[in-house]
């Protein structure tokens, strides 16, 4: 199997949906250029869950892994070019290349560590510290993300975030 043959290229315009929560996520996207986020709806409002930029993989984790529906949408914050890998092809890789299984397990470890840090940040920090933590983790891209999206990611209001930023 030629991996490159299985990979397709797509482009999305700013604000365009890459994945819709009313479908099962069958593809994982490698961002070649641009910026995307996952979000879900809470009380009719969009809550940002995660941001990804160049050279990162993104999908709707539980939907992609379990091939079931989940709440997350993925959209483009900027015009974005991606490579798409279909879940079937990933499964093929996992089944035929043992080192893929290991790679997959290890990269989950990285994600796990990221989530643990985020939990600590959410539990014990003020809004200001949350913002600083965010700038640190997403330092390459935080200037490219609209304020309201950052606020909902951090679980604080847009107004509070605006005030924090004003004091710098």
Partner DNA sequence: CAAAAATTTTGACTTATATCAAAAAAACTA
Partner DNA sequence: TAGTTTTTTTGATATAAGTCAAAATTTTTG
Interface residue list for DNA (CB under 7 A)? 14, 126-128, 146-148, 155-163, 165-166
Question: 160 is in the binding site of which of its own copies, DNA, none (Cβ under 5 to 8 A by kind)?
Answer: DNA
Phi/psi of residue 139, each to 5°?
Answer: -60, -30
Round to whole Å and give the CA distance between 59 and 43: 23
Round to whole Å and give the CA distance between 21 and 8: 21
Q: In Å, how far from its chain's centre is CA 46? A: 14
Q: Should residue 41 be labelled a site residue for its own copies when binding is judged by CB under 8 A?
A: no
The site map against its own copies for 88-107 (x = CB under 8 A) is ----------x--xx-xx--
Interface residue with its own copies, options 26, 32, 65, 160 (CB under 8 A): 65
Q: Which is nearer to DNA, 106 or 166 (CB)?
A: 166
Q: Should residue 24 be labelled a site residue for its own copies when binding is judged by CB under 8 A?
A: no
Question: How much of the chain is helix, strand and coil, in % rounded to 5?
Answer: 45, 25, 25
Burial of 98 (0-12, 13-18, 19+ CB in 10 A): exposed
Interface residue with its own copies, options 56, 113, 129, 140 (CB under 8 A): 113
Q: Which is nearer to DNA, 30 or 50 (CB)?
A: 50
């Amino acid at each position: 199997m030629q991996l490159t043959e299985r990979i397709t290229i797509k482009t999305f315009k700013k604000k365009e949906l890459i994945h819709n929560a009313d479908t099962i996520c069958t593809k994982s996207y490698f961002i070649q250029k641009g910026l995307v986020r996952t979000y879900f709806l809470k009380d009719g409002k969009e809550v940002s869950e995660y941001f990804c930029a160049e050279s990162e993989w993104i999908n709707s984790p539980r939907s992609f892994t379990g091939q079931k529906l989940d709440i997350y949408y993925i959209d483009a914050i900027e015009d974005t070019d991606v490579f798409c890998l279909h879940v079937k092809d990933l499964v093929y890789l996992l089944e035929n290349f043992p080192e893929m299984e290991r790679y997959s397990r290890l990269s989950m470890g990285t994600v796990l560590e990221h989530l643990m840090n985020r939990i600590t940040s959410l539990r014990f920090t003020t809004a200001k510290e949350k913002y600083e933590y965010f700038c640190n983790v997403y330092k390459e891209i935080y200037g490219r993300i609209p304020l309201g999206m950052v606020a909902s990611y951090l679980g604080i209001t847009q107004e509070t975030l605006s005030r924090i930023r004003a004091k710098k």
